[in-house]
Amino acid sequence: MTSPFDSEKLQDSSKVLSSPAKKLLLIFPDLEWNLKRSGYTMGAVQYLAIVLFVTITAFLGTLFLTTTPFLLTHTELNPYMAAGLPIFVALFAFFYFIYMPKMTVLRESRLIDKDLEYMLKDMQIQMTAGVPLFNTIANIAAGGYGECSKLMNEIVQQVESGSSMRDVLNNYGMLSPSEYMRRALWQIANAMQTGSDIKIALIALSNDIRQEKENKIKVYGQELTLWGLIYMMMVIVAPSMGVTLLVVLSSFVGSRMINMDIFWGVLFGVVAFQIMFISLIRSKRPNVG
């Protein structure tokens, strides 16, 4: 996977941070595997050193941009903003890049699982018709199954370069972001080794994926009931009753304490909550193809 972290200048500049990166790596033991499964070619220590370098650069850059206008205009500088904003930007950059490989793995896993069930059924049909395993994998690589086809294309290229198909399936199964793809490749490799029927393993795994998708849909439907109640309370009941209460209180405390700014704030809060709520519901929606 190509990324801005592959820049040689960035890698050379971050070498001085390799020692603290090795110590910090103990806090993130899964980083090495996440990098491999997301397709990065660098090691965990080198990646973490680059993250530290980017974090320090973000802190110093934000500190410079924050303090320079005040120094040039000779105005008073707010110490909380001068220190707080660079620290916030640095922490955000650090954790964003630390968890970026894991998020990449999760995203690729969802893309693979989206088409995996249909890919397995296609493989089952082809092998039932007597198509050899390698030709079946080659047909899947050209079958338009998204990330599944890309992975199968890489397997075909490795086999054509002279590698053993069973070893290639085991290696790609180990590095696959998707648990179901990992199980599929390992079961095919084990069936090749033991001489058992591959079609039976494909049928069982396809049924497991279908059952998992149905369970996700049921859980999502149950969650929507609760989220719908929260939405009604926060967007309909609370604003309407709150505005009514503010109108009543304004007749007692006067318009100085309760003015139009409060009502505009309520409107802005309702709009912001609805945007966040929609984003949350979309993120929880199961990707079942």
Contacts of 10 (CB under 8 A, 6+ apart): 4, 50, 53
Same domain for 245 and 198: no
Final residue belonging to a domain, choices 89, 106, 123? 106
Give residue 70's pLDDT band: very low, low, confident or very high (50, 70, 90). low
pLDDT at 131: 86
Task: Please give the Cα distance from 101 to 38 (Å, whole number).
Answer: 6
Give residue 267's pLDDT band: very low, low, confident or very high (50, 70, 90). confident
For the chain, helix, strand, coil in percent to 5 are 85, 0, 15
Same domain for 204 and 157: yes
Same domain for 271 and 188: no
Q: What mean pLDDT comes out for the span 174-199?
A: 84
Same domain for 79 and 14: yes
Same domain for 99 and 34: yes
Q: Within its chain, how far is the Cα of 226 from the centroid?
A: 25
Q: Is 289 inside a domain boundary?
A: no
Task: Please give the Cα distance from 68 to 79 (Å, whole number).
Answer: 13
Same domain for 237 and 195: no
Whether pTM > 0.85 for this model: the answer is no
Q: Is 43 inside a domain boundary?
A: yes
Q: Which long-range contacts (CB under 8 A, 24 or more apart) does 94-97 make?
A: 94/51, 94/52, 94/55, 97/50, 97/51, 97/54, 97/55
Task: Please give the Cα distance from 59 to 16 (Å, whole number).
Answer: 18
Same domain for 233 and 205: no
Same domain for 244 and 220: yes
Q: Domain containing 235: what range?
A: 211-284
How many domains would you assign to the chain?
3
Q: Is 184 inside a domain boundary?
A: yes
Query: How many Cβ atoms from other residues are within 10 Å of residue 59's Cβ?
Result: 19
Final residue belonging to a domain, choices 190, 209, 228? 209
pLDDT at 33: 85
